[in-house]
Amino acid sequence: MNERSLSSEAAPTGGGLLGWINARFPLTQLWRSQVSEYYAPKNFNFWYFFGSLALLVLVNQIVTGIFLAMSYQPNVHEAFASVQYIMRDVHWGWLIRYMHTTGASLFFVVVYLHMFRGLMYGSYKKPRELLWILGMLVYVCLMAEAFMGYLLPWGQMSYWGAEVITSLFGAIPWVGSSLVIWIRGDFGVTQATLDRFFALHVIAIPLLLLILVLMHLIALHQVGSNNPDGVEIHDHLDPKTGKPVDGIPFHPYYTVKDLFGVGVFLIIAAIIVFYAPSGGGLFIDPSNYQPANFMQTPPDIHPLWFFTPYYAILRSFPNKQFGVASLALSVLILFGLPWIDCHPVRSIRYRSWAYKAAVVLFAFTFITLGFIGEAPATLFWQRMGSGVALVYFLFFVVAWTYARRPTPRRLLLTLAAVLAVVGFLIWRFYLPSIAGLIWRTSLVPIVYALLFLLVPVFVPGLLRDRPVPDRVRMR
């Protein structure tokens, strides 16, 4: 516990039941140190809703998941029918299932917005590196949880999705094929796979998620929240009270603010659950309304929307090993963000115009990759995917360069290195295919590199940061 929570040690134990509990368990002390006397910056905005919303969705997933598990049968002959039984015969079964499927998608919406907030306000920078890493571990667990849960209804896309994704591990040199059998528990996706995915989905990963989320929150309370200005509120303490002058107690101010966010979120979630539970095929794939058939491949296999950006990266190189390595790198690189972007200015508000544009374009790139991953696996989309996937990685090159005194010489050297890598990739993978298409798609990363690494050489004002205020500014 840090010095911010020490004041609560003087918490009176009180009388009655509370006093009895306090004498045996530090309930009032915990409430004070972690909630009512936990000081958070007073300038939180819209982007600070998503942490508490992620907690809400986590609880929803666990509670609805427990009820689903009461009627679900983890058996290849009965799994699909048991889901239909939940939908038609179990009292309120349809509601519980739709709350769980919608919750899964909304979990990713909320977590992506939560991560983007971190990116905008530099919330991963010192002293919050570990907080960010714990968040990333939560994210990876969430991906595993969603992937394993998707196999359980044993529909067409459940089966073929698991078949394709587990086979990816086969691309790992030497151990690949043994690893695939080890993960599946069999030579194909069978009862053994369903058994282990069920156990992992309902027990192991939720437990891990809960532990990681708890660690995430402990780390947050150790270092304190960042804010849209990126200013440390604990640098300015009131000489009389010793409290941060730019902070307010979490309770009641942010409990009330978060409750408003919960209200709006529940309205949106209810509209989806009651009026559009399959989200136009985005939340529940149409082919998952058919039972799994290992004799018939669906015309187009793709994961649910929240994985499609990574799926586009996977498909973007006509070489399985390279595709799998790029997919792994696209997630792993996010772990390294605190060291890639170590620019002293935290918040995007005071960063240069060039960096602002790079961050906005990064979000746009991720969304575009999502659309490309959703599209059929034609040559055109594969080539478009490779162009946009390179832009995804180039963002990190740009962030790295901008964080380390980007002199014209350094910008030009980075540009030369980027052009050499893009040129190598074109030569290595694309030269034998249609010429026009190569040019159009390889232009995407080249234009991006010129824009962010060459233009600032001639317009240095684009790289100029704004002065950071000493204390938080209210808007």
- CA 183-186-187 angle, to 5 degrees, is 105
Question: What is the nearest approach in angstroms of ligand HEM to the Cβ of residue 100?
Answer: 15
Say whether residue 340 binds ligand HEM (CB under 6 A): no
Select the residue interacting with ligand HEM from 171, 213, 438, 463 (CB under 6 A).
213
Residue (265 or 448) nearer to ligand HEM, CB: 265
Q: Give the up-direction half-sphere exposure of residue 220: CA atoms within 13 A in the CB hemisphere.
A: 23
How far from 207 is each of 106, 219, 413, CA to CA, in Å?
20, 18, 47
Say whether residue 231 binds ligand HEM (CB under 6 A): no
If 0-12 CB within 10 Å is exposed, 13-18 middle and 19+ buried, where does residue 245 land?
middle
Say whether residue 121 binds ligand HEM (CB under 6 A): yes
Select the residue interacting with ligand HEM from 60, 123, 326, 442 (CB under 6 A).
123
Say whether residue 442 binds ligand HEM (CB under 6 A): no
Residue (115 or 422) nearer to ligand HEM, CB: 115
Mark the segment that binds ligand HEM (CB under 6 A) among 49-57, 403-411, 422-430, 467-475: 49-57
Say whether residue 139 binds ligand HEM (CB under 6 A): yes
How far from 364 is each of 143, 357, 368, CA to CA, in Å?
21, 10, 6
Q: Report d(CA 46, CA 29) in Å as an integer.
A: 30
Q: How close are the terminal C-alpha atoms of the chain, in Å?
A: 32
Residue (124 or 448) nearer to ligand HEM, CB: 124
Say whether residue 221 binds ligand HEM (CB under 6 A): no
Q: Which of 139, 153, 10 is nearest to 79 (CA)?
A: 153
Select the residue interacting with ligand HEM from 48, 80, 108, 250 (CB under 6 A).
48
Residue (130 or 181) nearer to ligand HEM, CB: 130
Say whether residue 125 binds ligand HEM (CB under 6 A): no
Q: Which of 158, 166, 169 is nearest to 324 (CA)?
A: 169
Two structure tokens written together for 301: 């296999």
Say whether residue 245 binds ligand HEM (CB under 6 A): no
In the block, tokens 């368990």 appear at: 25
Q: Which residues contact 111 (CB under 8 A, 6 or more apart)?
A: 50, 54, 138, 139, 142
Select the residue interacting with ligand HEM from 111, 284, 449, 463 (CB under 6 A).
111
Q: Report d(CA 313, CA 119) in Å as an integer.
A: 21
Question: What is the nearest approach in angstroms of ligand HEM to the Cβ of residue 337?
Answer: 8
Say whether residue 216 binds ligand HEM (CB under 6 A): yes
Binding site for ligand HEM (CB under 6 A): 48, 50-52, 54-55, 58, 111, 114-115, 118, 121, 123-124, 128, 131-132, 135-136, 138-139, 213, 216, 220, 225-226
